[in-house]
Structure 1
């Protein structure tokens, strides 16, 4: 698998390319130290619809197989139904592999910031729906990709 550029887009062959992408873009100006890939807690699927408010740093993933919803990295605490956007790839598909990159404070004392990465399962294009700072450093967010 290899992350590559196609014009303005990053393109990947599989979910593992999200790790390389997150290392390249960082999380709010900080290096990404850990990456967690999303999987549905109900059915185990790894393909999701993505929605939220990229400006406010909220994201909900919806399993394309069973419909289960999950707020990414605690962002449900800040969710508002105002200004919700649905992520749609330029190829018009809405199914994505999802990964979350975490920047940690020195000595792993907490999470500093978060960035998401999504790869269209139809065409392989990769993007980042949202990024945000984590003021309190809550390490439990590592388990909420």
Structure 2
């Protein structure tokens, strides 16, 4: 259940994060599908997160096995970006936190392609739900659904 803690939305689990992602939208469009990120290598759902929010690129790093994964098309220009470590306000010391991550997808009519993507997270330490970034997908590729 999504609640409010210290003026922030907070959730108890990944289901709350998925609901939060659905409610946020992407680039002003409704979200039609949400994928809670799970490591393909070990099945964990806890990640460190880094990204360049101005360039709208995000990478998650599995806390279970260290596998790195770019969200959607984020890896295409990663080498030219200046990624920063994502942190939560609850810690206050800018140390890297652990997050659950969910990606919301806005789809074109009849689910013919991905229109826009939004990346959200849930801090494991305090439960705060946050919206990191969103971007338009010009190609509409449905395979991006599998790259959350």
Bin for the TM-score computed over the shorter chain: over 0.9
- Deviation for aligned residue 1:80: 3.5
Match of 1:24 in 2: 23
- d(CA) in 2 for partners of 1:140 and 1:75? 14
1:105 aligns with 2:87: no
Match of 1:67 in 2: 66
Aligned counterparts, 1:6-85, within 5 A: 6-80=5-79, 82-85=81-84
Aligned partner of residue 56 in structure 1, secondary structure: coil
Gaps spanning 5+ residues in structure 2: where?
A: none
- Deviation for aligned residue 1:73: 0.9
- d(CA) in 2 for partners of 1:98 and 1:25? 14
- Deviation for aligned residue 1:39: 0.8
Match of 1:120 in 2: 123
- d(CA) in 2 for partners of 1:41 and 1:109? 25
- Aligned CA-pair RMSD: 1.3
Q: How does the TM-score come out when normalised to structure 1?
A: 0.94
- Deviation for aligned residue 1:133: 0.5
CA-to-partner distance for each residue in 1:61-103, whole Å, 9 max, x for gaps? 0001211100001210131354311111112261000110000
Gaps spanning 5+ residues in structure 1: where?
A: none
Q: Which runs of 4+ in 1 moved over 3 A?
A: none
Q: How does the TM-score come out when normalised to structure 2?
A: 0.92
Aligned partner of residue 28 in structure 1, secondary structure: coil
- d(CA) in 2 for partners of 1:60 and 1:113? 17
The aligned length equals 144
Change (3 A) 1:76 1:3: same
